[in-house]
Every structure is written in C-alpha cells, then in structure tokens.
C-alpha cells in the first residue's frame, strides 16, 4: 500500500490474513491436491465446487468446519456452521438437497483418562451440537442424511463440527462470485448488521484456552427462518439474468465478501458504509466491516435490473440495500459521512497474506505390544463390547432428531447403508454421499499420511458399497497448531496422503476448508482430515443394500487383515491401551475394489455390501445381521490371529451378499479385476455363528442388537 | 369435457418458512398427474380448485407459536371460506398446527414430551374413516398405515371435554400405533393425548394430521400408504356433483 494502514484497515487485514481466511500455513500444501477432472465444472476458490452429473445438471458441494465456535457455544456454533455451508451452496445457484456432518467429541463418560467434569462438559457439547444441527437443518427444510461421529479423549473440550451440504444446479444457473463491470451495483441482502461475531475469523484461528467462556461474543447467532427466505429469493434470482456475481457473508463479514468478489474479478468497489442496515446505533466502521452477523449476501447486479431484483427480495420481505458500486480501479474504498475510512486493494486482503513454509518432523513411535493383543483369545464378550462401544453403537438416537426425508429424495438414509443415496428427480440416477474421517479413526496418531489416504479411501469405498462410482470429493483438514513440529508434520503428511489417494482414484478435490489450532492446554487433537465424497449411480434400481437374506452367500472382498500389524490403530487396540504400531495399506488393491463394486452392482451380481470399519469384520457381520434380522454361519479356515481376523481395521474391505447361483460370476469378476476375496459362509438362522480357525462363537442376533442399541 | 381429461386441481398454500409445498407438488403433478398450484400466503383468492393443502414447515419461523402468525395471512380467509363451503382441506404437520390456530380444528399441538424433534416412519391406526370421506374414503376402520413423521411440536392437547366430544363424534381418525395396530404408550412418538395423530372437523372435510402423506407416495422412498389418502380424494371428487360444478 505504500503507507501505514489505519485502524480500520488493520482490522481488515487482521481478519483476512487470519489462518481461517488466508490459509497461510496450508495454502502452499493445498496446491498439491488434484482438482482437475473431466467432470469438474467449478473447482476450488469459489463458494463451492461443482461437478457434472449429466442431464445438464451439476452437483455442487462443500464441507466446512465450525469447531471453535462449537467449543464455546455448541448450539449456535453448530447451527451457524450448518447455515454457513448451506449459504455456500445456494450462493452458487444450486438448490441444497442434503446435509451431512462429521463430529468428534471427548468421551461422554468419565474413565481413566477423562475426569467427571470433562465428561460433563463433553456431554454438554455433544447435546448442544446435535441440537444446533437439528434446529437449523429441520427449520430450513434440508434433510440431514448422513454422517459419522467418533469419541476420543483428544477431542475433549475441542469438539470437531464439520458440516457438508450438497446441492443440485442446472449448468446454466450456476452463479459465480466474480465481480465485474464498472458501475454495477452492490446489493447487501438479508439480515441487518449487528455486533455479533466480530473477529470470529481471528478467534477461529487461535488455540482454545481457559478463557473460552469469554469468547462467546465471538460466536454468531443463527436464524434459519431468515436463511430459508434468503435461499428461496437467491434461487429465484439465479434463474434470472440479473446477477453478475453472488457471495455470502461468512468469516470476516463484509470485508471478506468485498475482498473476494473484487479480487476474483480484478475490479474494485466504492462502498458507503452508512447505507448498511444496522441492528443497533453507534456501530463503528470497524464493526460494520468485520461483523459476522449471519444470513447476509452481497450481490452484484446490473444497474438497470436493480428494480427487478428488489421485487424478488421484497416478496420475501427481505432488505436489499444498495451499498455501493463496482469500479475499475482494483481498490476497495469505504466511506462514512463522506469521509474515506479505508482504501485497500482487494487482492492484498484476499490473496497476498504471507505464506509460511511448514517445518515438522515425525515424533518417536510409541511403544506397543500388538503381538500380545493378537494372541489374546477371542470371545463373544469382546464382540459385544465393541458393538456397544460409543464409536460403533447405533446412531439412531442422533439421526432421528434430524429430518432426513424432506425433499422426498432419500432412498437410503442414515443408518441404512454405508452412504446415503438420494435420487435425482427427473432422471433414472441417484447420488451416493458420505462423509468420513481416517479409518481407523486414530490412525493419524500413528501415521498422518495414512490418515489422509484412508479418509479418501473410506469415502470411496462407502459410496462404492452402495453401487456408486465416486466422482469427486471435498475435504476439511482439522489439525492442531501448524507452528509446532508435530502439527506441521501431521498436516503436510496428511495432505500428501489425500493427494495420492485422489490421484490413484482419479478423484478431484473441488472444494474444502482448513481448521488449524485445534488444541487445548492438554494438547492437540488427533490429525483429522475429513472427506466428503460424492458418487454417481446411473440406474438407481441397481443401488446396493446392506442387508442379506436367508440363504445368501457371504464373501469378504479385500485384504484378509489377519496379521498382527492390521490391529494397529483399531478400536480394540485403543481400548486395550496398545496405541502404537506400523499400519500399512495396499493402495492399488483398494482402488481395484472401488472400481469393481459398482460394476458388480450394475450387473446385479451382488445384492448387498457393507464396508468394514470400527470393530472390523466381527462388528460388520453383526451389524448386517442386526439390520437384516437374519443371522449367518461364518467360517474362516486359516487365521494366524483370530483376534486380528475378527477385529482388525484396515481400510478397503467389504462384505458382500449374493444369491448362491451368482457366486461363479463373482469369482470370475474378482479374478479378472485382481481383487482378493474369500467365501465366508451363508446367511440364515437367528444367530451369528463364527468359526475362526477352530475358535467358535455363536451369539443370538437379538443379543447383538441389544448391545448395539446401547443408548448414549 | 370427457372424464378421461378430468384432473383434480389442488392449491398448496405457502407461508414464509413452509417447506413441504415442493414435495406435495411433486406428488400431485408427477405421481398423480393432477393440476397443482402453489399460492403465496398474501394471495386472497384460491382461484378454481378442488382441494387445498396446508403443508409442513416452519411458517414464520414458528415465532410466537407454531401457526400463530400464519392464521392471519390473507390466504387463510380464502381457505376458511373454501372449508365452510365444504371444500376438502388437508393440513399436514405445520399445516395441522395452522388449522388448530385458525380454529378450523380444536385443540393445539405442543412441544413433544421428550422435548426433541423426531423424524421416523410411524405406524398409524385408521379409525372411523367414513367421518373423513374425502381423505380416507378408500381406507377401512382398523387399517394400519405407515407414514413418516417429522416434527418437534406434535403433541396433541385439548381439554377433557373436547377430547371426549371428539371421541364421541368419531372425529379422531388417525392414532399412533405399533405395527400390529395396537395403540400403546411406546408407539406414541410425542406424548399426544389419546395418541391422536389426526382428526377431522365436524363436517368431515377438513383433516389435520402430523404425519407426511406426501413423503409416502412412491415405493422407492419406502412406502406408498400416503397415496391412499390422495386416491381417496380423487374418487371422492369424482363422486361429488358439487365438485363437478366447481370444475365448470
């Protein structure tokens, strides 16, 4: 700028150059993620990514975190997280059709690691977050169709709330956030501007300390009713040709929206801050520019169409204030009472934050004795313990609080499959969608590269298990401080893992978000890259289920995972205090299976599939038996460690069910694709009988169900 | 005009914050082949129509009370007049709440007893369907149907005299039940008094229910029992001389 910035300008730079807005520690690394593909219509850098799904339609989607706000005010933190991600989707001109969420909390019950105060706080956060997601999504009328939730002490006091929204747009109605055309009018639409959420972006970029209660004013308050009106008005607007660009106001409020709109378009703006509708008198320019009041949009409109645009907003009783215009000189000038209060190049705010090169190193590997764990005898009580564990048990008490059917598209909803399946009205197709963290969930503690790699693979396997071809992902990187050696190493390795998995699967990353400084005085969270995956099913009548029928043949596809190291990072190992080991993964083998599953589904060779995750093969078999109300006779002849065979968790393994006469076709398909597979047995009866290298267990399905339905 | 060309014409009323109108319109137009218009709450005229739908959602954000502001919308004057003339009206979910606030049906819908929102498939026992011939004419007393519910404030409440009157007049036409059709406390998802899920007005043309029939109209979504209500309406309209006059 060639001069010292004034106080207002410093505030603008402070917010825009925060980690939350500027990605200054992650941006150099994010360039490693592949974002190009034949189907990609809009890649990273816009409000959300868009991928072609045929019939002139696009799927528009993004995941975003709201971790820090949720740690201090869980209901509003989670609610505004949902509101923010929905705005990102309809800002693109897409009608939101689904919400998903990935959540992490500390344990809800006190144990050796968590005292009763911390457990009580975790329960408060858990209840508030679920309530906030339900409150916002139910009111605005967008179904919450899926998600995942993991409990671990590292998230105690620092929960993760990652919300994903999926929308559908016609190609010609996609609206970008790229201002253009000197003289075009800037309309600020929706809620009036208040003093809530000021410096939220900076707050979200700091480590959570003991002062977290005092940070409550930095959290915004959501109004889903207002956003519903805003959504309908903006979607109506996107169908006209009056809009040049549209941008929602999120972190850093008006400052960020002005900077990003103008920087993307290479233009500037003249803004009269006095024209901004206020909630209260006496607000300073600093406050107006940095307020994070929710449910606001900034729209660039051609001058001759302002009246038409106003008519639409009037109908929804929404304020549309003309606050300025676009100018050629790429500078944002704001005035109040005719006086200039700031004059900043938008690009300096949006694109020129300093970038840091991360330096980190691997920590020493923790001691562990997985061999001893692998040698322990297998018993029914271990399977029941894992089924009832907070990380595996039935999530119905959570998702039945979310409207998951609104919009009449939900073919397979929460709890009914590895991914949600929503039909695309007017076509024969459907979208499968999933949101997943690393698998196993704590693998990042052992190898952050595998955390990134496995999160992508888990999502791909989940949508493939519904018969879908994965076509793109969105990612949310939740990590501790990048300024520590550990944090820097974890972030870089995880991004490399995501990138390698995406390249192997030919999957573009079209949108995403980074949340760093997820630390409390007790330390950082587990490295938690979260991936939202979209899959396409051409013929939705061929979508797979996760239930088997009496007489079906049951097969395991993928690695047998019966070796000692396969237990590394597993729920069982963690529960037994064996928190080390060197997990390994055969990437090409998993890729082969992701490609094979939709082919098997399209040819109706298999009827059901279920991905193995928490609790491994044992829990997966129990889960399908409960869902089907039908038991099974399972036998694994050779198993170096029956414990590993039943409870190891290595990503990229699936059990499938098929009628016996299709087994030869399955064998041929596996051989042709080079995918490993073994026959496990057959479905039938009212108990799950397991014979693992001579070790026998038999548990009634009703007993499995009781354990699995342990309430929270 | 030949009978083959005849199609029911429905109007779906839309308040700020309503969200089931698109689902109703989808079923009416794409599943049933009906004519369907959605009308904004500020409209004072329904135009030519054979039935009115008050859909689910959060009209006016549920501010004040569910349905409390919507009842004052201009369109409600038209709906009241339509109902008074015997026209079939269905209010589902938030629409039921609007009907009670407007006084078209007695009682009120309060917060669920467990204080949480609840979305799930729910079994319902059909009772005295002849009392709501336009909406339940194709169903039989004792039928068990499955419809989705999705609400935070669906606990039906009225004073004892009103409840006794409703029972005596056979106006409780849908009750929460288990899959066997037994009305039990466990099967009651929200603590509604006497497990009331749906009721009709005295004349039998205005039906209010918390469940969503429009979400159960296509097999791939998990059930088609909702269609039985819409088919009932279609048959009833065809049998009404008055409806024929309205059509012309």
Taking the Cβ of residue B61 and every Cβ of chain A, the question of whether any pair is shorter than 8 Å is answered with yes
> Residue A494: left if φ>0, alpha if ψ -120 to 50, beta else—which one?
alpha
Residue A292 has pLDDT above 60, yes or no: yes
> What is the band of B247 on the pLDDT scale with cuts at 50, 70, 90?
very low
- Burial class of residue A333 in the structure, from the number of CB atoms within 10 Å of its CB (0-12 exposed, 13-18 middle, 19+ buried): middle
Contact A259/A177 with Cβ under 8 angstroms?
A: no
Q: Which of B58, B63, B119 sits opposite A404 (nearest CB)?
A: B119
Q: Residue B19: which of A141, A315, A423 has the nearest Cβ?
A: A141
What would the pLDDT profile of B108-142 be if each residue is shown by its tens digit? 999 999 999 999 999 999 999 999 999 999 999 99
pLDDT computed for residue A209 by the predictor? 67
Distance CA A536, CA A665 (A): 24
ipTM of the complex: 0.95
Assign A432 to helix, strand or coil.
Answer: strand
Question: Is there a contact between A403 and B119 if contact means CB atoms under 8 Å apart?
Answer: yes
In a domain, B2, yes or no: no
A315 contacts on B by Cβ (under 8 Å): 40
Per-residue b/e over A198-223, b at no fewer than 16 CB within 10 Å?
bbbbbbbbbbbeeebeebeebbbbbb
* Digit-coded pLDDT (tens) for A294-315: 889 999 999 999 999 999 999 9
Least CB–CB distance from B220: residue in A224, A401, A423 = A423
Q: How far is A230 from chain B (nearest CA, A)?
A: 10
- Tokens in use for A612? 């193995």
| DSSP 8-state assignment for residue A140 | H
**Does B72 reside within a domain?**
yes
Q: Is B156 within the bounds of a domain? A: yes
The total domain count for chain B is: 1
Secondary structure (H, E, C), A215-259: HHHHCCCCCHHHHHHHHHHHHHHHCCCCEEEEEECCCCHHHHHHH
| Order of all β-strands in the sheet with A608-611 | A608-611, A654-658, A553-557, A677-683, A632-636, A687-692, A695-700
B212 is catalytic: yes
Please report, for the domain that includes residue B182, its CATH number: 3.40.50.880
- The answer to whether residue B214 is catalytic is yes
- Domain spanning A1-15+175-354 has what CATH number? 3.90.650.10
Return d(Cα A629, Cα A246) in angstroms, integer.
Answer: 50
What distance in Å separates the CA atoms of residue A254 and residue A346, rounded to the nearest whole number? 12
- On whether residue B3 sits in a domain, the answer given is no
* B212 has a chain A CB within 8 A of its CB: yes
Instruction: Work out the number of other CB atoms within 10 angstroms of the CB of residue A367.
Output: 8
Q: What are the angstrom distances between the C-alpha of B29 and each of A31, A648, B56, B136, B227?
A: 47, 51, 18, 20, 13
| Closest by Cα among A104, A403, A203, A378 to B116 | A403
Radius of gyration over every alpha carbon of chain B, rounded to an integer in angstroms: 17
What pLDDT does A180 receive?
A: 86
Instruction: Give the residue among B130, B90, B134, B92 at the shortest CA–CA distance from B232.
Output: B134
Beta strands B196-200; B206-209: pairing state: antiparallel
Residue B1 lies in a domain: no
Question: What band does B244 get if pLDDT is binned at 50, 70 and 90?
Answer: very low
Nearest to A141 among B26, B57, B116 (CB): B57
Q: Please determine, for residue A566, whether its predicted confidence score (pLDDT) is greater than 50.
A: yes
Chain B residues inside the 8 Å CB shell of A226: 61
Whether A408 sits inside 8 A of B214 (CB atoms) is yes
- CA dist B24 and A408 (Å) reads 10
* Interface membership of B41 toward A (CB under 8 Å): no
Token readout for A586 is 């055969």
Instruction: Tell me the pLDDT tens digit for each residue of A392-402.
Output: 999 999 999 99
From CA B196, how far away is CA B175, in angstroms rounded?
5
pLDDT recorded at residue A216: 59
End-to-end CA distance of chain A: 55
pTM for the structure as a whole: 0.95
Beta-carbon contacts below 8 Å between A and B: 78
pLDDT, average across residues A659-685: 97
Set of chain B residues whose Cβ sits within 8 Å of the Cβ of A135? 117
For A418-444, write each residue's pLDDT tens digit. 999 999 999 999 999 999 999 999 999
**Which of B:119-148 have CB within 8 Å of A?**
119-120, 148
Inter-chain residue contact B23 with A408, CB threshold 8 Å: yes
Buried-exposed string A70-94: b where 16+ CB fall within 10 A, e elsewhere: bbbbbbbbbbbbbbbbbbbbbbbbb
Contact A425 B16 (CB under 8 A): no
Domain residues for the domain of B70 are 8-108+118-247
DSSP A355: -
**Cβ–Cβ gap B19/A401 under 8 Å:** no
Local structure of residue B30 (DSSP, 8 states): I
Indicate if the alpha-carbon torsion angle B221, B223, B224, B229 is positive or negative. Answer: negative
| Mean pLDDT of the region A113-118 | 92
Identify the pLDDT of residue B68. Answer: 84
Which of B212, B220, B224 is the mutation pick for testing A, counting most A CBs within 10 A?
A: B220
Contact B117 A401 (CB under 8 A): yes
Q: Read off φ and ψ for residue A474, nearest 5 degrees.
A: -130, 150
Helix count (H) and strand count (E) of chain A?
Answer: 24, 28
The alpha-carbon radius of gyration of chain A (Å, integer) is 26
> Would you state the pLDDT for residue A213?
61
Confidence of residue B1 (pLDDT cuts 50, 70, 90): very low
Q: What is the pLDDT of residues A79-88, one digit of tens each?
A: 999 999 999 9
Pairing, β A95-105 against β A243-248: unpaired
For the segment A541-551, what is each residue's pLDDT rounded down to a tens digit? 999 999 999 99
- Give φ, ψ of A448 to 5 degrees: -65, -25
CA dist., res. B137 & res. B147, Å (int): 17
Cβ distance of A408 and B62 shorter than 8 Å = no
What is the rounded average pLDDT of the residues B200-222? 98
Q: Answer whether residue A707 shows pLDDT above 50.
A: yes
**B114 and A CB contact within 8 Å:** no
Q: Identify the sign of the CA torsion A323, A325, A329, A335.
A: negative
């Amino acid at each position: 700028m060639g001069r010292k910035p004034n106080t207002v300008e410093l505030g603008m730079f402070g917010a825009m150059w925060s980690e939350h807005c500027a990605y200054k520690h992650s941006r150099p690394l994010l360039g490693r993620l592949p974002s190009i593909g034949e189907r990609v219509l809009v890649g990273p850098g816009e409000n959300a990514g868009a991928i072609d799904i045929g019939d002139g339609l696009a799927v528009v989607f993004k995941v975003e975190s709201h971790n820090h706000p949720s740690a201090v005010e869980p209901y509003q933190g989670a609610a505004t997280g949902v509101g923010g991600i929905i705005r990102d989707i309809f800002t693109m001109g897409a009608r939101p059709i689904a919400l998903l969420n990935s959540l992490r909390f500390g344990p809800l019950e006190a144990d050796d690691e968590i005292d009763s105060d911390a457990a009580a706080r975790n329960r408060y956060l858990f209840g508030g977050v679920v309530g906030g997601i339900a409150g916002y999504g139910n009111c605005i009328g967008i179904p919450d169709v899926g998600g995942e939730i993991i409990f671990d002490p590292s998230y105690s006091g620092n929960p993760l709330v990652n919300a994903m929204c999926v929308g559908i747009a016609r190609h010609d109605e996609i609206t970008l956030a790229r201002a253009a055309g000197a003289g075009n009018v800037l309309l600020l639409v929706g809620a009036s501007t208040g003093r809530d959420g000021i410096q939220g972006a900076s707050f979200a970029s700091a480590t959570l300390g003991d002062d977290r209660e005092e940070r409550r004013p930095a959290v915004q308050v959501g109004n889903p009713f207002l956003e519903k009106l805003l959504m309908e008005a903006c979607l109506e607007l996107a169908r006209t040709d009056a809009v040049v660009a549209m941008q929602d106001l999120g972190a850093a409020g008006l400052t960020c929206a002005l900077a990003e709109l103008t920087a993307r378009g290479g233009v500037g703006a003249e803004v009269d801050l006095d024209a901004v509708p206020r909630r209260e008198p006496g607000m300073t320019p600093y406050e107006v520019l940095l307020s994070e009041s929710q449910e606001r949009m900034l729209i660039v409109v051609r001058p001759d169409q302002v009246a038409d645009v106003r008519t639409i907003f009037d109908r929804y009783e929404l304020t549309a204030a003309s606050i300025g215009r676009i100018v050629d000189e790429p500078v944002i000038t704001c005035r109040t009472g005719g006086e200039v209060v700031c004059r900043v190049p938008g690009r300096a705010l949006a694109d020129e934050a300093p970038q840091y090169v991360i330096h980190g190193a691997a920590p020493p590997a923790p001691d562990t004795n997985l061999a001893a764990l692998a040698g322990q005898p297998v018993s029914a009580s271990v399977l029941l313990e894992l089924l009832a564990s907070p990380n595996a048990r039935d999530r119905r008490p959570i998702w039945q609080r979310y409207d998951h059917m609104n919009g009449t598209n939900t073919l397979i909803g929460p709890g009914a499959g590895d991914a949600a399946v929503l039909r695309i009205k007017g076509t024969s197709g459907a979208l499968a969608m999933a949101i997943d963290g690393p698998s196993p969930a704590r693998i990042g503690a052992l190898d952050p590269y595998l955390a990134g790699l496995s999160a992508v693979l888990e999502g791909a396997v989940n949508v493939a298990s519904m018969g879908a071809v994965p076509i793109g992902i969105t990612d949310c990187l939740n990590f501790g401080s990048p300024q520590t050696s550990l944090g820097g190493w974890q972030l870089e390795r995880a991004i490399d893992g995501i990138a390698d998995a995406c390249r192997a699967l030919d999957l573009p990353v079209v949108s995403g978000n980074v949340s760093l400084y997820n630390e409390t005085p007790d330390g950082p969270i587990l490295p938690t890259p979260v991936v939202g995956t979209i899959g396409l099913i051409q013929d939705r009548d061929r979508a797979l289920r996760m239930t088997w029928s009496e007489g079906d043949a049951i097969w395991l596809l993928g690695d047998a995972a019966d070796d000692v190291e396969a237990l590394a990072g597993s729920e069982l190992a963690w529960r037994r205090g064996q928190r080390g080991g060197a997990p390994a993964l055969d990437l090409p083998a998993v890729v082969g299976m992701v490609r094979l599953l939709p082919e098997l589904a399209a040819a109706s060779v298999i009827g059901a599939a279920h991905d193995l995750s928490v609790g491994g093969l044992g829990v997966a078999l129990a889960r399908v038996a409960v869902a089907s109300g039908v038991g099974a006779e399972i036998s694994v002849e050779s198993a170096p460690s029956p414990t590993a065979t039943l409870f190891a968790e290595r990503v990229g393994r699936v059990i499938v069910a098929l009628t016996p006469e299709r087994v030869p076709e399955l064998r041929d398909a596996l051989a042709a694709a080079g995918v490993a597979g073994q026959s496990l047995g057959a479905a039938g009866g009212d108990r799950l009988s397991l014979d693992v290298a001579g070790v026998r267990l038999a548990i009634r399905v009703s007993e499995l169900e009781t354990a699995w339905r342990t309430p929270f | 005009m030949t009978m083959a060309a005849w199609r029911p014409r429905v109007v779906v009323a839309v308040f700020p914050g309503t969200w089931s109108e698109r689902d109703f319109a989808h079923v009416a137009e794409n599943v049933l082949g009906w004519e369907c218009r959605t009308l904004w709450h500020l409209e004072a005229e329904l135009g030519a129509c054979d039935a009115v739908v008050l859909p689910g959602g959060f009209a006016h954000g549920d501010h004040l009370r569910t349905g409390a502001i919507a009842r004052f919308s201009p369109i409600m004057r038209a709906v009241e007049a339509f109902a008074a003339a015997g026209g079939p009206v269905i209010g589902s979910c938030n629409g039921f709440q609007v009907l009670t606030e407007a006084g078209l049906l007695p009682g009120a819908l309060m917060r669920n007893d467990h204080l949480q929102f609840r979305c799930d498939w729910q079994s319902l026992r059909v009772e005295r369907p002849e009392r709501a011939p336009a909406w339940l004419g194709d169903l039989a007393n004792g039928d068990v149907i499955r419809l989705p519910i999705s609400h935070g404030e669906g606990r039906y409440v009225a004073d004892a005299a009103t409840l006794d009157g409703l029972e005596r007049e056979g106006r409780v036409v849908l009750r929460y039940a288990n899959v066997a059709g037994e009305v039990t406390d466990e099967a009651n998802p929200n603590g509604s008094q006497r497990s009331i899920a749906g009721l009709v007005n005295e004349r039998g043309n205005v039906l209010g229910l918390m469940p969503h029939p429009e979400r159960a109209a296509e097999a791939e979504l998990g059930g088609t029992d909702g269609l039985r209500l819409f088919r009932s309406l279609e048959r009833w309209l065809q049998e009404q001389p008055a409806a024929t006059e309205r059509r012309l």
